[in-house]
Amino acid sequence: MDVVVFESLYGNTAAIARAIAAGLGEGARALTTSDATPDVVRSAHLVVAGAPVHGLGPPSERSRASARAKPQGELRLEADLGHVSMRAWLDTLPRGPRLAAAFDTRVRGPLGHGAATAIAHALAADGLTLLDEPRGFTVHLHTSSSQPGALLGVGELDAARAWGARLRALAAAA
Ligand SMILES: Cc1cc2nc3c(=O)[nH]c(=O)nc-3n(C[C@H](O)[C@H](O)[C@H](O)COP(=O)(O)O)c2cc1C
């Protein structure tokens, strides 16, 4: 089984994770950090992990608290903080010889290295083999419109599906 594990406060990273899982194909599942338990991870061949960029890295307890305090946009979208953060999930990651890849969602371009690079480092530190460069997907923030707090950029779901298919091919060749 292949798993795509995500942290997502407003649903964008979750949507990208599901598209990556669709690109990976049969047997791949997108899972929250709560559902991706150590036992599930141990049974996985490929582990893809992603989170939103908060202040040039994965969300911290502080940035999650700040998101909780400030509903986004005119819809006053509330952050979903019902699952552990990607940072906390990475702390419980079982070590082992599995394949891996990391991604993030971000508003700005590749200023700094975003969350994906930090996630990739953590995966590699736990003995997983990275298949590809860390990958960022773009969202747009709508703070003064009727749109939700963040929306995926045009074409990003297609790009995520294509990246999933690329990871499948890289995993087969590894
Ligand atoms: C507290 C907070 C800090 C953020 N900091 C950044 C940032 O430094 N750079 C950036 O590109 N986007 C930043 N963002 C935008 C997030 O990347 C965006 O909300 C996220 O990609 C949406 O994904 P989600 O719907 O899965 O939560 C920030 C968002 C929040 C709530």
pLDDT average per 10 residues of sequence, the chain (174 residues):
95 95 97 97 96 92 86 66 97 93 84 82 96 92 52 88 98 93
Ligand 1 atom 6 nearest Cα: 54
- HEC assignment per residue over 92-145: CCCCCCCEEEEEEEECCCCCCCHHHHHHHHHHHHCCCEECCCCEEEEEEECCCC
Containing structural domain, residue 96: 2-173
pLDDT at site 55: 86
How, if at all, do strands 135-141 and 150-152 pair? Answer: antiparallel
Report which ligand 1 atom has the smallest distance to the Cα of 79: 27
Q: Is the CB of 138 under 6 A from ligand 1?
A: no
**pTM for this structure?**
0.93
Q: Is the CB of 107 under 6 A from ligand 1?
A: yes
pLDDT at site 141: 66
CA of 43 to the centre of ligand 1 (A): 31
pLDDT at site 144: 46
DSSP 8-state code for residue 77: B
> Residue 107's domain is classified under what CATH number?
3.40.50.360
Q: Is the CB of 139 under 6 A from ligand 1?
A: yes
- Phi and psi at residue 151, to the nearest 5°: -130, 140
CA of 54 to the centre of ligand 1 (A): 5
pLDDT at site 148: 44
Number of domains composing the chain: 1
